[in-house]
Amino acid sequence: MTTMISPEQIDRIVWNQHHNPFEVLGPHPLDVDGKTGWVVRTYQPDVEAVSLLLPESRAEIPMKPTHNPHFFECWVEQGDLGTYQFKLKSGDHERVVYDAYAFSSPALTDYDLHLFAEGNHHRIYEKMGAHVMEMGGVMGVYFSLWAPEARNGLAAGGL
């Protein structure tokens, strides 16, 4: 499969300069040769190999590096990916992790953003910050913040 994104987009991910990583990373529906499926992309620095683990079929699909040795993708002909995981290999070590980009945010809605922008969201503390929650059967921490001047992890007073 030939990648459907430009090398420039991959470079922006790698150099932490992409304005919307969800646009590139994670699962995206894609038709290939008349077949419906998903392209899944991940950026995993310091990892030599990545496999996509599908929970229902217990399939393990090797992901291929694309344009950068740490940017991986694969195409899966499947209707629903479920809460897939990645198997990451580095040297003799392997670990399995969930893909954070597979979880869309139900916690912060467009209406919340509208009220926040107006200065009328009187319970924004319920939406911003860190909140333990379950999404897709996976327990984790949902985290959101407002930092309009932040760039590449270096906000005012940063490193």
- Predicted local confidence at residue 74, as pLDDT: 95
Per-residue pLDDT of the chain (159 residues; tens, 9 = 90+): 556 789 999 999 999 888 889 899 999 998 888 888 999 999 999 999 999 999 888 899 999 999 999 999 999 987 788 889 999 999 999 999 999 999 876 678 889 989 999 999 999 999 899 989 888 788 888 888 887 777 655 444 443
All structural domains of the chain with their residue ranges = 7-101, 103-159
Which CATH number is correct for 7-101, 3.40.50.2000, 3.40.1080.10, 2.60.40.10, 3.40.50.1950? 2.60.40.10
Q: CA nearest 21: which of 29, 37, 39, 9? A: 9
Query: Model pTM?
Result: 0.81
What is the DSSP track for 39-103?
Answer: EEEEE-TT-SEEEEE-TTT--EEEPEEESEEEEEEEEE--S---S-EEEEEETTEEEEEE-GGG-
